[in-house]
Every structure is written in C-alpha cells, then in structure tokens.
Amino acid sequence: MRMARRKPLPAKDGRVLLLVGTAKGAFVFAAGARRTGWRESGPHFRGSAVYAMAYDGRQGRRRIWASSASMHWGALLRHSDDFGRTWTDPESASVKFPPDAGLSLKQIWQIRPGRDDEPDVLYCGVEPAALFESRDAGETWSLVRGLHDHPHRPRWEPGGGGLCLHTILPDPAKRGRLLVAISTGGVYGTDDGGRTWRAMNRGIRAEFLPDKHPEFGQCVHKVVQHPARPERLFLQNHWGLYRSDDAGESWRDVANGVPSDFGFCMALHPRDPDCAYIVPLESDMFRCPPQARLRVYRTRDAGASWRALSQGLPQRGAFETVLRDALAVDALEPAGVYMGTRSGKLYGSNDAGASWTLLRDGLPAVLCVKTAVVAAGPRARGAHPGR
C-alpha cells in the first residue's frame, strides 16, 4: 500500500471504498482490489462531526450514508448515490424524536442497513440512546417505541462519549431478531421486530459498579456478529473481552493473552467466525496503547489466544486511540483491515493485518471507518437477478 493521493478515484465495480468520518467532516477513499494507490475526496460537511457512515449496496444501490452533526445547526442524515460527489441536504431532519418523547437528538452514532431480504429497512442508533427505523429506504424514520418505553431506560447512564446507542445487529438468519448495544445500558435484544426487548448481559461485568454483574448498566463499547454464523458474537467491553456462541444469551471472557482487556473497537474477519480484531488500550484512565506501542490484536481461535500485529505500526511513543467504530475489515481475500486514530492517522493492511501502511496522516480526529466493496450497480441489475 501507498499513502493516499488527494484526487478522487471514480468508484466502480470491484473498487474498495473506505468511508472515514472525522470530527470535522467525512472523507471517502477508493482503491482497486489490490488496495494500493488510494485516492480520496473530502472533507464533506466541513466542520461537522461525522460519527456514523454506512454503505448500502442492497438491491443494486450504491449509496453512502453519513450523519453530519454541526455544533450549531444539529445532526442530519444524508446520503450520496455518486460516491460522495453530491450529497443530500434535507430541508428538515428525518431522524428526530417525536414531540411526546420530550427529547432532542444530539448525535447519530450508527447507521445500519437491515437484512438483505428487507432491502428498504435501515436503522439508526442515536444519542440520547434510542433506536430509529426506516422501512422506506431512509425516506422516513420512526422511533422504535418498544425500546424507548423499556422500564430500564430512565436508569441508563451516559458513558464518556454520551448516552448513545452505538451498535445495531440485525440477525441475518432470523427475521425480527435484533441486538443493540448502549453505553451505558449494555446489550438489549428483541425477537419480535422491536416490540419487546430484554437485557442480554449475562456474564458481562461492570467494573465501575458495586454489583459487578448487574442485569443491565454495563458499558459495552462494541459488539460484532458473524454473518455466516449469527449466533457467534464478540464483544469489547469497558473492561472485558467476551464471546457468545448462543446469540447473546450468555457471554464468556476471552481476554486470553491480551495486554489489556480495555478498548473500544472490534471487527470480524469476513469469512472466519473464529477470527476477530481489537486494539487494546491501557486503561479507562489512560486511553492509549500499552507501552505506547500501537498494536492490533487478532484471534484466530475464537478468543482462546490473541496475537499482536504490529508490522508497519508505530512501536514507540504512539499515544493513539482508536474509537469504537474506527476499525473495519473488508470482504476481499486476503481481508483488508483499516483503522483511524484520534490523531488523524488512517492505517491499512491488505494482508489481513500481517503488515500495515499509513494511508493518510493529518486528518481531523477519526470517529468512524467503514468499508465496502462496490458491486454491480443498477445498470447491471438485470444480469444479477435477486441481488
């Protein structure tokens, strides 16, 4: 890999996209399947914080979603159908609390396309913690009342970043099943499409509470679910690394051989459900890599052991933080792994994490990194029935 050049690359079939949200705007990177020679565009939404981005390639779409939050003018959900050349600038905010909720939207933390067989369903997780759903491909949105009315909600507490719903996992195999994670509230799940919810935190600890294993109140930082094995989940907690093999009913500690089980981000290998990536941080009091060595840790045995990946990453004086959505893995072979730091560095690996390259320096603080491989667009839909 080489450092990215500031010239946009027209995205087309097979190209890899990197969607990078920062504290001062969004950047879109694109490269060919070898993932060398990245080109970039941005910043889009200059001055606005972009906590969430997503790519929706369902039904032949080529749509990039982004949330832009201006300190002054509020948060908006936008999309682009031309890889960031133009963006929607909606007259009114589509994601907002209904009047009777008595709440006002602070931030959109997560945008998540729904299941492949529900191609017009999208979800947003927001601050203050709530889930919104769209059933018309993002045109209109509604608050998921079942979660909003949950009796636990008044007792959820804000974490360091705010009281946010930051993770949304629509079960790829079971329609109506959805998991979300809230800082701090923990993991909640529904089996009936959002009407009823229950806390699913059995085995996850809350280091900062007198009762270390409460029903809810854990500060879960990220949860990932393997598409080919949806009952397999990994979870990075505010202290604690966990795995579930029963779709979140119970969690077991898998912090075996990591320098710290504190961290924010987590990502899964696209094909191997035993392979996960994390970036451990020293502690909640010092959110930097242990020994100031920036290392990604990977397990290939479902958490029985973890190995450091450091080739190409700074191993001295690296006081970096990788936030909860700033680590991503693409779907190619070998998998590409990407991460952005709060100091504005974007690193990439095109060999599943074995070696790393600094793709871009000097960005604003990176809040999220998402990746997607561009599939055939609308013109090719006829050739791909069922896509």
Contact residues toward other proteins (CB under 8 A) are: 47, 70-74, 76, 91-93, 96-99, 102-105
Give the residue with the Cβ less far from other proteins, 125 or 270: 125
Helix (H, G, I), strand (E, B) or coil at 155: helix
Q: Which two tokens stand for residue 174?
A: 């079971």
Residue with tokens 């039904």: 59
Nearer to other proteins, 66 or 187 (CB): 66
Mark residue 367 as left, alpha or beta (left: phi above 0; alpha: psi -120 to 50; beta: remaining).
alpha
Name which of 36 and 70 has its Cβ closer to other proteins: 70
DSSP characters over 283-302: -SSS-S-GGG---EEEESST
Cβ proximity to other proteins, 109 vs 347, nearer residue: 109
- Rounded to the nearest whole angstrom, what is the least distance from the CB of residue 300 to other proteins in the complex? 45
The residue among 97 and 319 lying less far from other proteins, judged by its C-beta, is: 97
Kindly state the smallest distance separating residue 387's Cβ from other proteins, in Å.
35
| Token pair 């500031």: residue | 6
The one-letter amino acid at 129: A
| Residue 334: cis peptide before it, omega within 30 degrees of 0 | yes
**Beta-bridge partners for 111:** 124
Residue 8 beta carbon to other proteins: minimum distance, rounded to whole angstroms = 17
The CB-of-384 to other proteins minimum distance in angstroms stands at 38
Closest separation in Å from C-beta 294 to other proteins: 31
CA–CA dist 90, 85 (Å, integer): 16
128 or 314, CB closer to other proteins?
A: 128
87: which 2 tokens?
């963006």
Q: How far apart are CA 384 and CA 245, in angstroms?
A: 34
Cβ within 8 Å of residue 115, ≥6 positions away:
121, 170, 171, 172, 175
In whole angstroms, the minimum distance from the beta carbon of 47 to other proteins comes to 8
